[in-house]
Structure 1
Amino acid sequence: MAQTVPQYTNMSNIPTPLLSRASNEKMMLMQVLVGIFLYVNCLMICTFFKKEAFRTDTRYILFAQTLIADSALMVFTDIAFFANYFQIPVPCIPCVIMCTIMAWLTISTPLTLVAMCLERYVAICMPLRHASISTTRTRLLGLVLIWCLAGIPALIVFLIFAVSVPLKFFSSYLICSLEMMIIHNWQAQFRAVLFQFYFLIMSITIGFTYVKIMAAAKGASSNKTSASKGLRTVVLHAFQLLLCLIQLLCPYVEMAVMKIDYMLFLNVRYSNFILFVLAPRCLSPLIYGLRDEKFVVVLRYYAVFGLNKKSFHFCKLCPYHLKHGKTWPLKGKQKFWMS
């Protein structure tokens, strides 16, 4: 008989500890942080859909996909974490569906980060070919490829789980967590190897784009400012990717800690959620939202519900005025970037 991984997610035989006031305060703090994260993301998503100039630009499309995937993952993860923290049993089938979606979304963000680095590489190192490469068809194929690659590990885990458990298991109630679907030791090892392969390829790709953009920044290019900014963007994406990699290793640490002490397990899981789930996904709004001059102008407009209209009129072809926050007079049939 195959050896199975200990299931710490189904803890019906473990007495639920009385949560202290400090534990409840930590949960409240986490909910506040998640609420702020979701508010900022929703504001940026609305900003993206409001302006056609963003909806036709590859970098902003990938940015919006990251925001949507991260927001959905945050909602599902927060629900699962809340139920797990307070030991609330849920039906098996909704739990399996939610865990499969979370596994899918978890990989989609790193893959999108790699795609964003490749887009910056093409824009900076091959500016004359950027328009021909970044077409509607290419963008659509890229998005489909990202979601297909992200779905492979989640689909494999789901299929192995579905054929490994008896049918009556699907009518049971359990404490929901991603590790609930890991039945066999070899399944956990296979998933770890698959994740390592994914991140090896992604790390090599990001390293390649970093080297190429760094060469463009040091070369005799007239666009050194853009190259330097792209270099910083790739570095931040690499840091995000590292945090995402650590996130995938957290369940193995938590399973080991669970065998030692239950309250220590709760504290470790809480810290992992803040550092390796919430933190790396807060970097995306910073990298492509607040650091982007074009995007932050429109974001500021919608953040105050359109009350500050004076700073909203910027010319499409005038980066000086966009950078320094000066208005541009309306003349004739001139089309504005913000209109």
Structure 2
Amino acid sequence: MANITVSASNVTVSQINKGVPAKAALSMTPCFFFLYINVVMLITLRSKAIFRDTSRYILFTNMLFADSLNLVYCMLMYIFAIIRLYMRSIVCALVMLAGAVIALISPLSLAMMALERYIAICFPLRHAEITMCRRTGVAIAIVWALGSVQAFTNLILLLISGPLVSTLDFCSGLSMPGMEAYTDVNNAFTIIYFLSVGLTIVYTYIGIVVAARSASSDKCSAAKAHRTVLLHLIQLGLCLSSILFDSIIALVRAHLDLFAALNVQYVMFLGLIIFPRCLSPLIYGLRDQTFRPLFLYYFSFGFCASN
């Protein structure tokens, strides 16, 4: 989970505040722009029946919604750190639990999307039956249920660690009660989830490549499908980089002074948190020839004609 926290040591407050307004503007401007893109994409996906009733578009809508929530969450946590907003420990715990759920939905959605492409290429005659809207809805419910397992586990750890003291502090994983157990559990879940999703995507990619070489397959569709699944693997890597943000920052703080660490933290926030959340929808959405013209129409307020 990404959190931007500031603490004073041998560095003066004026040094810490140096350049903060410019950095905040530089960070938030692309955030708001890409959040607008996400909202336009969501509107586009609800505008036609083909997007509402087709499995891959429904799964894409779910991933886009989760990415948008995650982007808003990261923006708010960054703003809270910039303005030095303190939270009650109880409120912070709830915020952290919500963030834990949101962060895992995108990689799990990528696995579902890869499986959908695998079914479309390897079992084309059963694709419509397997990926009907009701079953796609069940798959999305499973994604959210799996994404919530870590949060519920953390909630149990919080409850058994003793009563939450209602103190004011910066909200981060470092301020959670039972920090050692909390970190161990989160690391375990991160490894399990990303190994499972990674193996699923690799398996579907290999399956699609094998199917593409068979004489009976649709070569064009298979080629597009395995490129899409390969992009899913790249997106998974981007999601993993954001999950590892806190661990990398802890390592940076251990070897650099506070002022240098804050500058590195700011750059990594843009590169590992904001950039992946902005790039993922564009990678998938703008490659689709059916979706792209209508998206450009809404994005340009009707100036770009749609087909």
Q: What TM-score comes out, normalization by structure 2 length?
A: 0.90
Corresponding residue SS for 2:280: helix
SS for the counterpart of 2:178 is coil
Question: Which residue of 1 is the match for residue 259 of structure 2?
Answer: 263
Match of 2:103 among 101, 106, 112: 106
Per-residue Cα deviation, 1:260-281 (whole angstroms, up to 9, x for no partner)? 4222332232223222222222
Name the SS of the counterpart of 1:291 in structure 2: coil
Aligned in 2, Cα 1:209/1:216: closer, same or farther, shift over 3 Å? same
> What is the aligned partner in structure 2 of residue 55 from structure 1?
52
1:119 pairs with 2:116: yes
Q: Which residue of 2 aligns with 1:329?
A: none
Match runs of 1:75-154 below 5 Å: 75-154=72-151
Check conservation: 1:182, 1:188, Cα contact below 8 A: no
For 1:1-339, what aligned pairs fall within 5 Å after superposition? 11=7, 16-19=13-16, 21-167=18-164, 169=165, 171-181=166-176, 183-259=178-254, 260-308=256-304, 311-313=305-307
Unaligned runs of 5+ in 2: none
CA–CA distance in structure 1, aligned partners of residues 192 and 179 of structure 2: 20
Report the Cα offset of residue 233 of structure 1.
1.1
Q: Distance in 1 between matches of 2:266 and 2:302?
A: 38
What secondary structure sits across from 2:155 in the alignment?
Answer: helix
CA distance in 2, matches of 1:17, 1:151: 41
What residue identity is the alignment partner of 1:212?
Answer: G
Counterpart in 2 of 1:327?
none
Once residues 260 and 178 of structure 2 are traced to their aligned partners in structure 1, the CA distance between those partners, rounded to angstroms, is: 24
Instruction: Report the Cα offset of residue 144 of structure 1.
Output: 1.0
Superposed CA offset, 1:247-306 (max 9, x none): 222212222333442223322322232222222222332233111000011112212323
For residues 159-207 of structure 1, the C-alpha deviation after alignment (integer angstroms, 9 at most, x for no partner) is 212332534x2x2211112443363323312321221111111111011
AA of the residue aligned to 2:259:
M
Q: Deviations over 1:105-142 (max 9, x none)?
A: 10011000110000111111111110010112211210
Cα drift, residue 243 of structure 1: 2.0
RCO greater where, 1 or 2, for CA within 8 Å and sep 6 or more? 2
Q: Deviations over 1:76-122 (max 9, x none)?
A: 11111222244321233332222211110100110001100001111
- 8 Å CA contact 1:10–1:176 kept in 2: the answer is no
Counterpart amino acid of 1:27? A
Aligned-residue offset at 1:46: 0.5
Letter in 1 for 2:306: F
Corresponding pairs, count: 303
Q: Which amino acid aligns with 2:44?
A: T
CA-CA distance at 1:62 after TM superposition: 1.0
* Matched-pair contact (CA < 8 Å) for 2:45–2:52: yes
Q: Secondary structure at the match of 1:62?
A: helix
Change (3 A) 1:267 1:165: farther
User: Distance between the aligned counterparts of 1:185 and 1:220, measured in 2?
Assistant: 55
Matched residue type, 1:247: S
Contact 2:31–2:71 (Cα < 8 Å) also in 1: yes
C-alpha separation in 2, matches of 1:43 and 1:37: 10
Give the alignment's Cα RMSD to 1 decimal: 2.4
8 Å CA contact retained: 2:37, 2:299 = no
Question: Which amino acid letter does the alignment assign opposite residue 265 of structure 2?
Answer: R
CA–CA distance in structure 1, aligned partners of residues 261 and 100 of structure 2: 21
The structural deviation recorded for 1:51 is: 1.2
